[in-house]
Amino acid sequence: MAGFKERVFSGVQPTGNLHLGNYLGAIKRFVELQSGRDCIYCVVDMHALTAQLYQPDLASQIREVTAAFLAAGIDPKAHIVFNQSQVSAHAELAWIFNCVARLGWMNRMTQFKEKAGKDRENASLGLYAYPSLMAADILLYRATHVPVGEDQKQHLELTRDIASKFNNDFAAPIAERGFGEGFFPLTEPLIGGPAARVMSLRDGSKKMSKSDPSDFSRINLTDDPDTIAQKVRKAKTDPEPLPSEEAGLAGRPEAENLVGIYAGLAERSKEEVLREFGNAQFSAFKSALVDLSVERLGPIGSEMKRLQDDPGYIEAVLADGAARARAIAAETMAAVKDIVGFVRL
Ligand code: TYM
Mean pLDDT of 82-91: 98
Number of folded domains in the chain? 2
Same domain, yes or no: 108 and 227: no
Same domain, yes or no: 328 and 284: no
Same domain, yes or no: 94 and 78: yes
Structural domain contains residue 1? no
| Cα Rg, the chain, nearest whole Å | 21
Q: Measured from the CB, is residue 47 less than 6 Å from ligand 1? A: yes
Which numbered atom of ligand 1 lies nearest the CA of 22?
7
pLDDT over 70 percentage in the chain: 99
Following DSSP, what letter does each residue of 53-80 receive, concatenated? S--TTHHHHHHHHHHHHHHHT--TTTSE
**Nearest-10 crossing angle of helices 311-340, 282-308:** 90
Mean pLDDT of 75-81: 98
Structural domain contains residue 60? yes
Structural domain contains residue 185? yes
Count of C-beta atoms within a 10 Å radius of residue 120: 12
Grade residue 1 by pLDDT with cuts at 50, 70 and 90: low
Same domain, yes or no: 260 and 173: no
Grade residue 339 by pLDDT with cuts at 50, 70 and 90: very high
Tell me which of 165, 210, 305, 337 is the catalytic residue: 210
Same domain, yes or no: 331 and 221: no
Same domain, yes or no: 13 and 160: yes
Q: Residue 46: which of 80, 94, 102, 96 has the closest Cα?
A: 94
pLDDT tens digits for range 256-276: 999 999 999 999 999 999 999
Mean pLDDT of the chain: 97
pLDDT at 58: 98
pLDDT tens digits for range 140-169: 999 999 999 999 999 999 999 999 999 999
Tell me which of 5, 77, 113, 115 is the catalytic residue: 115
Same domain, yes or no: 58 and 108: yes
Query: Which structural domain range is residue 166 located in?
Result: 7-196+311-340
Structural domain contains residue 40? yes
Output phi, psi for 274, to 5 deg: -70, -30
Which numbered atom of ligand 1 lies nearest the CA of 199?
15
Same domain, yes or no: 258 and 177: no
pLDDT tens digits for range 163-209: 999 999 999 999 999 998 799 999 999 999 999 999 999 999 999 99
Same domain, yes or no: 74 and 97: yes
| C-alpha 156 to ligand 1 mean position (Å) | 11
Structural domain contains residue 203? no
Same domain, yes or no: 64 and 100: yes
Structural domain contains residue 207? no
CATH classification at residue 51:
3.40.50.620
Structural domain contains residue 206? no
| C-alpha 344 to ligand 1 mean position (Å) | 35
Q: Residue 293: which of 191, 197, 221 has the closest Cα?
A: 221
Cβ(145)–Cβ(8) below 8 Å: yes
Q: Would residue 305 show up in a list of annotated catalytic residues for this protein?
A: no
Which numbered atom of ligand 1 lies nearest the CA of 138?
32
Question: Can you tell me the distance from the alpha carbon of 270 to that of 292, in angstroms, rounded to the nearest whole number?
Answer: 15
Cβ(144)–Cβ(187) below 8 Å: yes
Q: Would residue 236 show up in a list of annotated catalytic residues for this protein?
A: no
CATH classification at residue 295:
1.10.240.10
What pTM was estimated for this model as a whole?
Answer: 0.97
Same domain, yes or no: 140 and 43: yes
Cβ(220)–Cβ(19) below 8 Å: yes
DSSP for residue 220? B
Which of 97, 148, 160, 207 has most ligand 1 atoms within 8 Å of CB, for mutation? 148
Structural domain contains residue 202? no
Same domain, yes or no: 135 and 284: no
